[in-house]
């Protein structure tokens, strides 16, 4: 039988390993989702929610740990906060504001479509056609 704390060590390692990537991805998603005129407001709200969770999580863990007299039960508010975050993600739309001249279409296409050898060949062919038209435009 594995040690009873093994689950908590594994969960902590996974959460810690994913933290940096989630932070970077959330900023990128925010920039792509928000109109250019509202980026300042969106990052302000992003910072406010980050500050709020930086004291809500430790406060709730401390309160539940104190009430239950168990550190293992005391960690349950983290599970609740993750569930609330997952619920909040269900309201995120797939709309992406593309800056002029960007090639984000192939990125979103590859995420939403299954990747096969044929789809990669088609995407590569489309990119070569774009590059050919750009070089033709520049030379004339």
> Would you kindly state where each structural domain of the chain is located, as residue ranges?
1-97, 100-140
Q: What is the pLDDT of residue 105?
A: 47
pTM of model > 0.75 = no
Looking up tokens 């038209």, which residue turns up?
Answer: 133
**Whether the Cβ atoms of residue 9 and residue 17 lie closer than 8 Å to each other:** no
Tokens of 135: 């070089």
- Whether residue 89 is predicted with pLDDT greater than 60 in this model: the reply is yes
Spatial distance between the Cα atoms of 74 and 85, rounded to a whole number of angstroms: 19
C-alpha radius of gyration, the chain, whole number:
22
**Whether the Cβ atoms of residue 114 and residue 49 lie closer than 8 Å to each other:** no
- Whether residue 104 is predicted with pLDDT greater than 70 in this model: the reply is no
Tallying the residues shown for the chain, one arrives at 140
Highest mean pLDDT among 27-41, 107-121, 124-138 belongs to: 27-41
- Per-residue model confidence as pLDDT tens digits over 12-70: 888 888 877 887 888 888 888 888 888 889 889 888 888 887 888 899 999 999 999 99
- List, as one string, the DSSP characters of 47-68: HHHHHHHHHHHHHHHHHHHHHH
Spatial distance between the Cα atoms of 56 and 61, rounded to a whole number of angstroms: 8
């Amino acid at each position: 039988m594995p040690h009873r704390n093994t689950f908590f060590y594994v969960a902590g390692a996974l959460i810690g390993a994913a933290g940096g990537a989630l932070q970077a991805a959330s900023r990128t998603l925010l920039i792509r989702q928000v109109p250019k005129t509202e980026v300042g407001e969106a990052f302000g709200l992003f910072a406010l929610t980050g500050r709020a969770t930086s004291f809500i999580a430790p406060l709730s863990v401390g309160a539940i740990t104190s009430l239950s007299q168990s550190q293992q039960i005391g960690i349950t508010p983290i599970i609740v906060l993750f569930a609330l975050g997952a619920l909040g993600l269900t309201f995120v739309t797939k709309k992406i504001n593309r800056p002029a001249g960007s090639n984000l279409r192939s990125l979103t296409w590859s995420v939403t479509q299954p990747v096969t050898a044929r789809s990669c060949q088609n995407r590569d062919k489309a990119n070569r056609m774009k590059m050919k038209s750009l070089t033709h435009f520049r030379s004339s």
